[in-house]
């Protein structure tokens, strides 16, 4: 069956079962690999992408149910906040294996879009649903605060 999807400003027409999770379609059909398969059950945050500006877990979202605009980390060059986060994560060396980072940057963008001076506690609360098995949490918090500083300068 054909499904229409707007991803990173591009209209895609895909021949997929509408019940297929968005994550599979992004990775296998649209060849956008930033969102990762971690748990596949809405428990780890690795698959987070933006849907009309809100973070959603793409592993549990049927592609046929999507009406809005999907945005993935691949679009970071055209998004001021994602671009600032990208630079800050590199500057703070906040990435170890990197598996969790796309989802974390997507979630961090939703925080910075409403709060350009988040405290460490606010960042922790925002990232509660995101697991990082490498344990780079301290650097992740610093990176998000560095991005916030750049955005509010």
Contact footprint for ligand FES (CB under 6 A):
37-40, 42-47, 57, 59, 95-101, 132-134, 136
Q: To which residue do tokens 């989802």 refer?
A: 103
> CA of 89: how far to CAs of 5, 84, 98, 145, in Å?
29, 9, 10, 10
Q: How far is the CB of 2 from ligand FES (least distance, A)?
A: 25
- Burial zone of 39 (CB within 10 Å; 0-12 exposed, 13-18 middle, 19+ buried): middle
Q: How far is the CB of 96 from ligand FES (least distance, A)?
A: 4
Nearer to ligand FES, 78 or 125 (CB): 125
Cβ count within 10 A of residue 31: 8
Q: How far is the CB of 47 from ligand FES (least distance, A)?
A: 3
Nearer to ligand FES, 76 or 89 (CB): 89
Q: How far is the CB of 134 from ligand FES (least distance, A)?
A: 3
Burial 141-152 (b: 16+ CB within 10 A, else e): bbbbbbbbebbe
Which DSSP symbol is given to 43? S
Nearer to ligand FES, 73 or 132 (CB): 132
Nearer to ligand FES, 8 or 58 (CB): 58
Q: How far is the CB of 8 from ligand FES (least distance, A)?
A: 19
Nearer to ligand FES, 38 or 118 (CB): 38
Which DSSP symbol is given to 151? H
């Amino acid at each position: 069956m054909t499904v229409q999807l707007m991803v990173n400003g591009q209209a895609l027409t895909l021949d997929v079962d509408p019940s297929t999770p968005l994550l599979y379609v992004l990775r296998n059909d649209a060849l956008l690999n930033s969102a990762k398969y971690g748990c596949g059950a809405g428990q780890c945050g690795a698959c987070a992408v933006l849907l009309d500006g809100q973070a959603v877990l793409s592993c549990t979202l049927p592609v046929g149910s999507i009406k809005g605009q999907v945005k993935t980390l691949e679009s970071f060059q055209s998004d001021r906040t994602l671009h600032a986060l990208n630079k800050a994560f590199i500057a703070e060396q906040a990435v170890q294996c990197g598996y969790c980072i796309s989802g974390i940057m997507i979630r961090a963008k939703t925080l910075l879009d409403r709060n350009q001076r988040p405290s460490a506690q606010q960042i922790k609360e925002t990232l509660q649903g995101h697991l990082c098995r490498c344990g780079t949490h301290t650097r992740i918090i610093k990176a998000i605060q560095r991005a916030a500083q750049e955005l509010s300068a």
